[in-house]
Amino acid sequence: MTAPARISQQDMDRAMKAIAKAGFDRARVVMDLANRRIEVIIGETPAAGAGEGEAEDYDAEDR
């Protein structure tokens, strides 16, 4: 028998819908399975045409 999901797909769907409903264009979603929580890091909306197609560097220590 398998263990129940720590974070369900429904939980992730709720988080993603909340981000979209709040009107944010960019967000980073981090699943903390050990503590059974979802952390949402909201990003700024980029200026029109700035940075399109560029990957953003992310350092976990900067959180």
Over the chain (63 residues), what is each successive 10-residue block's mean pLDDT? 86 93 90 91 64 56 55
Look up residue 40 and give its two tokens.
């949402």
pLDDT at 5: 84
Phi, psi torsion values for 45, nearest 5 degrees: -75, 125
> How many angstroms separate the first and last alpha carbons of the chain?
37
pLDDT at 40: 92
pTM greater than 0.75 (yes/no): no
Find out whether 41 and 27 touch, Cβ atoms under 8 Å: yes
